[in-house]
């Protein structure tokens, strides 16, 4: 594999971007309106990305290649690629999942007809931008692609723009993520002003200016705020559940496996700077742990299949941030390896596979149930959809973190890293994450049992049927990854992705140690308990009504209303923003307009007076000139 | 050759200047205005030359030469304006040219 030179990494994002352009221009005449071209570009990118990433994992120093883009004064801005282990990991995740999703799209989106051109052009643009984002060698370029993936997300959520809900969801996603992006931009400017560079290589080798050490912490905190928007962390999580209005393939690719990971990637990329600001890392870990629990509670009551998965995504992203924060903090305080860093990133890898699997499975279920996502209208699909059911069962087991599935390994390492983090904040975050284990398992199996078990509650005339082969194959491949990627990555890939000197152990020892840890046993027990309760409630039909208490009822209402946060956001927008806008309007009318009109009126008045001097008579003008010269002479003589 | 004191030249120059300025203010005839401007310029030239001789500094002569050159150009432009004006209105009196009145 060593024959593929790293310079070819330039082609990885350029191929899908080129495909996007071609599809946008000539999609009308292409097979499947450009679908196969998008698949081909994605496949070529994948076949380049795999060997390059494989070699990249073994690099000692990051590979960089760049050229000058533009210069502002002393400031040189460059376009380039920065390839290290982190980039390699993301390259594999992004290119592999997108390739599978694009193949799946051919079958899933087939009915869309002429609109497919727009779909494949936007998907290819997204893929190219996402690959560019992980390959970027400086923050400005990263920001550029960051905005591009945000744009693609907006366009694809609103793919069925004639539906008001989809159009509103697209706008909501755009506005909420933009709020985060704004913080990212402020952080970027702070860095630019103080460090005069945005290049990763230069920033990571930089010594902090001793006059302003707080600036690093503040700038990176702003970066994290940007990551919160992209990765849907509380309180900027509002957009992700609504983003499910887009096609399911879009949810699988953008809102589960790739774009939402951009925030995690940004924090991981900034880690060399973040470990100089340990307080930021505690904030990241705590907010991640909180979001994990918070989103998991919301997933337990939702009746929309895709939205349950969306809340699950938010929750799992919270785990990743918890891992990164804990790992970075350990590295910042001691010089030991921050194990949570690797665990968080491996969780990103595992999550991308099992969540893409779950979403594509949900797509297959929707395909079978004439596009319905309502869990209350499903049930007993197992005999009809054996393959989809198996795939989703594997995904659910992986997401729930039941050993030996993939989610278990990385989640367990994250919790272990937070537990041994040595700070009360990390311990709090661990507790939040630990409680989430139970809820995760509960809501995942609630979803599975509601869809595939129990009695059929199908709408009139529903005829569930298994997915066509083009949709089935990606499910099978992703199932294999969801089964195996956890242990393989923890035992194998782990050695390449580490913060500080990795603490390695052979596979057998890893197994022995993992299952000797009482907390691991307990968390697995919790996960199994969640499974059991979901089984009792949604398969055996245990009636909860007898146990319903006033408190339980109000908690249920609170969860159904999503903690009233969406309403609060709307109220905030109505009252505060509109009120503020009114205030500004009044200021604009009175002060700004008043100033301009006043200047105009004064000029007119002055002109009215001055016009009397303009008689049109040359002799008068000559007298003015002479009088003026005489006056100046007089002044000169007197004040000489 | 008889040499006059500097003050004599300056006095002559001042008289010329006042004459020119007076003419400029009261004349209505365009040609007369141009002539008055010439007188003003030449009073200044006389000053320049007188001081140049007094200080033995050639710069004053140079300035005077420039000034004469400029005066030629000015006279040419001014006369052509007057000719154009005459063709248009058949008059060269300036006191009724009031279309620029504000």
Question: Mean pLDDT, 10 residues at a time, over chain B (102 residues)?
Answer: 83 93 88 91 93 90 93 93 89 76 68
Q: Taking the CB of residue A454, how many other CB atoms lie within 10 A of it?
A: 17
Pairing of strands A75-83, A63-72: antiparallel
**Residue A170 or A539, more confident:** A170
Please tell me the predicted confidence (pLDDT) of residue A1: 45
- Burial degree of A395 (CB within 10 A; 0-12, 13-18, 19+): buried
DSSP class per residue in A476-511: HHHHHHHHHHHHHHHHTGGGTS-SSS-----HHHHH
Sorted by sequence, the CB contacts under 8 Å of residue A339 that are 6+ apart come out as: A327, A330, A413, A416, A417, A503
User: Cα separations (Å) of A259 from A253, A295, A479, A488?
Assistant: 8, 18, 21, 24
How close, in Å, is residue A578 to chain B by CA atoms? 49
Q: Residue A30 and residue A28: Cα distance in Å, rounded? A: 6
Judging contacts by C-beta atoms under 8 Å, the chain B residues touching residue A616 are: 97-102
Which of helix, strand or coil describes residue B29?
strand
Residue A339 is encoded by which pair of tokens?
Answer: 């194990």
Give the pLDDT mean for A17-35.
Answer: 83
Please tell me the predicted confidence (pLDDT) of residue A513: 76
Return contacts of B27-36, CB within 8 angstroms, 24+ apart: B27/A619, B28/A619, B28/B93, B28/B94, B28/B95, B29/B92, B29/B93, B29/B94, B30/B78, B30/B82, B30/B85, B30/B92, B30/B93, B30/B94, B31/B82, B31/B92, B33/A618, B33/A622, B33/B94, B34/B75, B34/B78, B34/B79, B34/B82
How many CA atoms, within 13 angstroms, populate the side-chain half-sphere of residue A16?
Answer: 29
| ipTM exceeding the 0.90 mark | no
A637 pLDDT exceeds 90?
A: yes
Q: Residue A429 and residue A424: Cα distance in Å, rounded? A: 9
Q: Taking the CB of residue A508, how many other CB atoms lie within 10 A of it?
A: 9
From B30, B11, B4, B25, select the one nearest B82 (Cα to Cα). Answer: B30
Interface check for B55 against chain A (CB to CB < 8 A): the answer is: no
Q: Are A486 and A116 in contact (CB under 8 A)?
A: no
Judging contacts by C-beta atoms under 8 Å, the chain B residues touching residue A613 are: 102
Cross-chain residue pair A622–B26, CB shorter than 8 Å: no
Interface check for B21 against chain A (CB to CB < 8 A): the answer is: yes
Give the pLDDT mean for A581-603.
Answer: 92
Mutation target among B24, B35, B40 for the A interface, most CBs of A within 10 A: B24
Residue reference for tokens 């997204």: A126
Which stretches within A200-338 are classed as H helix? 200-204, 213-230, 239-242, 248-252, 261-269, 271-274, 278-299, 305-333
Please tell me the predicted confidence (pLDDT) of residue A618: 80
Q: Are A263 and A316 in contact (CB under 8 A)?
A: no
Cross-chain residue pair A617–B95, CB shorter than 8 Å: yes
pLDDT, one tens digit per residue, over A384-429 is 888 888 999 999 999 888 877 888 888 888 888 888 877 888 888 8
CB pairs under 8 A between A and B: 37
Q: Residue A368 and residue A296: Cα distance in Å, rounded? A: 27
Residue A188 is encoded by which pair of tokens?
Answer: 């970027």
pLDDT, one tens digit per residue, over A156-173 is 998 988 888 899 899 989
What average pLDDT does the structure give for chain A?
85
Give the pLDDT mean for A500-520.
Answer: 74
Q: Taking the CB of residue A60, how many other CB atoms lie within 10 A of it?
A: 5
Map B47-80 to HEC letters: HHHHHHHHHCCHHHHHHHHHHHHHHHHHHHHHHH
Residue A208 is encoded by which pair of tokens?
Answer: 């902090």
| pTM, rounded to two decimals | 0.77
Please tell me the predicted confidence (pLDDT) of residue B68: 93
Which of helix, strand or coil describes residue A19?
helix
Interface check for B28 against chain A (CB to CB < 8 A): the answer is: yes
Please tell me the predicted confidence (pLDDT) of residue A546: 63
Please tell me the predicted confidence (pLDDT) of residue A63: 85
Residue A57 is encoded by which pair of tokens?
Answer: 């994992």
From A326, A343, A346, A517, select the one nearest A429 (Cα to Cα). Answer: A326
**Residue A637 or A73, more confident:** A637
Please tell me the predicted confidence (pLDDT) of residue A631: 94
A580 pLDDT exceeds 70?
A: yes
Q: Residue A26 and residue A29: Cα distance in Å, rounded? A: 6
A29 pLDDT exceeds 90?
A: no
């Amino acid at each position: 594999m060593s024959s593929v030179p790293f310079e070819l990494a330039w082609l990885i994002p350029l191929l899908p971007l080129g495909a996007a352009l071609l599809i946008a221009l000539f999609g009308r005449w292409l097979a499947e309106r450009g679908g196969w071209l998008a698949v081909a570009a994605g496949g070529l990118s994948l076949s380049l990305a795999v060997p390059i990433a494989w070699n990249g994992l073994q690099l000692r120093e990051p590979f960089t290649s760049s050229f000058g883009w533009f210069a502002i004064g002393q400031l040189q801005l460059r376009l380039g690629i920065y390839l290290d282990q982190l980039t390699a990991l993301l390259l594999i995740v992004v290119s592999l999942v997108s390739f599978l999703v694009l193949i799946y799209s051919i079958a899933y989106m087939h009915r869309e007809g002429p609109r497919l051109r727009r779909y494949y052009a936007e998907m290819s643009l997204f893929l190219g931008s996402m690959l560019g984002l992980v390959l970027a060698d400086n923050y400005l370029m990263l920001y550029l692609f960051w905005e591009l993936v945000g744009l693609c997300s907006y366009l694809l959520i609103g793919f069925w723009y004639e539906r008001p809900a989809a159009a509103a969801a697209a706008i909501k996603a755009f506005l909420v993520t933009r709020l985060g992006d704004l913080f990212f931009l402020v952080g970027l400017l702070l860095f630019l002003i103080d460090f005069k560079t945005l290049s990763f290589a230069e920033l990571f080798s930089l010594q902090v200016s001793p006059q302003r050490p707080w600036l690093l912490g503040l700038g990176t905190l702003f970066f994290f705020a940007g990551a919160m928007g992209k990765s849907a962390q509380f309180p900027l999580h509002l957009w992700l559940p609504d983003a499910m209005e887009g096609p399911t393939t879009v949810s699988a690719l953008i809102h589960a496996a790739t774009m939402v990971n951009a925030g995690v990637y940004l924090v991981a990329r900034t880690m060399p700077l973040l470990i100089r600001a340990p307080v930021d890392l505690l904030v990241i870990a705590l907010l991640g742990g909180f979001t994990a629990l918070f989103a998991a509670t919301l997933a337990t009551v939702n009746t929309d299949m895709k939205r349950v998965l969306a809340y699950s995504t938010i929750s799992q992203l919270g785990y990743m941030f918890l891992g990164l924060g804990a790992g970075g903090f350990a590295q910042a305080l001691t010089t030991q390896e921050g194990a949570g860093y690797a665990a968080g990133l491996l969780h990103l890898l595992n999550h991308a596979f099992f969540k893409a699997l779950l979403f594509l499975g949900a797509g297959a279920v929707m395909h079978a149930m004439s596009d319905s996502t309502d869990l209350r209208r499903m049930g007993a699909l197992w005999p009809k959809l054996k393959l989809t059911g198996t795939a989703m069962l594997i995904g659910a087991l992986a997401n729930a973190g039941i050993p030996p599935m993939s989610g278990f390994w990385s989640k367990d390492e994250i919790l272990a890293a937070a537990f041994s983090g040595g700070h009360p904040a990390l311990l709090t975050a661990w507790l939040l994450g630990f409680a989430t284990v139970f809820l995760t398992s509960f809501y995942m199996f609630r979803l599975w049992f509601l869809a595939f078990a129990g009695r059929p509650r199908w709408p009139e005339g529903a005829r569930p049927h298994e997915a066509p082969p083009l949709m089935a194959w990606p499910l099978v491949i992703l199932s294999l990854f969801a089964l195996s990627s956890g242990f393989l990555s923890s035992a194998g890939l782990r050695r390449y992705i580490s913060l500080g000197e990795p603490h390695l152990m052979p596979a057998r020892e890893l197994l022995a140690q993992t299952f000797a840890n009482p907390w691991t046993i307990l968390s697995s027990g919790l996960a199994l308990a969640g499974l059991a309760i979901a089984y009792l409630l949604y398969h055996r039909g245990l009636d909860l009504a007898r146990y319903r208490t006033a408190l339980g009822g109000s908690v249920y209402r609170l969860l159904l209303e999503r903690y009233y946060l969406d309403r609060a956001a709307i109220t905030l927008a109505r009252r505060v923003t509109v009120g503020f806008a009114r205030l500004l309007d009044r200021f604009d009318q009175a002060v700004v307009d008043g100033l301009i009109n006043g200047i105009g009126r004064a000029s007119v008045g002055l002109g009215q007076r001055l016009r009397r001097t303009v008689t049109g008579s040359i002799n008068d003008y000559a007298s003015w000139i002479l009088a003026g010269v005489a006056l100046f002479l007089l002044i000169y003589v007197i004040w000489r | 050759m008889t040499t006059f004191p500097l003050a004599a030249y300056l006095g002559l120059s001042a008289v010329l200047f006042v004459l020119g300025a007076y003419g400029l203010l009261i004349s209505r005839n365009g040609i007369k205005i141009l002539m008055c401007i010439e007188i003003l310029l030449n009073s200044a030239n006389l000053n320049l030359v007188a001081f140049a001789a007094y200080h033995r500094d050639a710069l004053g002569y140079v300035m005077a030469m420039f000034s004469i050159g400029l005066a030629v150009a000015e006279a040419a432009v001014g006369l052509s304006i007057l000719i154009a004006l005459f063709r248009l209105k058949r008059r060269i009196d300036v006191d009724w040219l009031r279309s620029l009145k504000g």
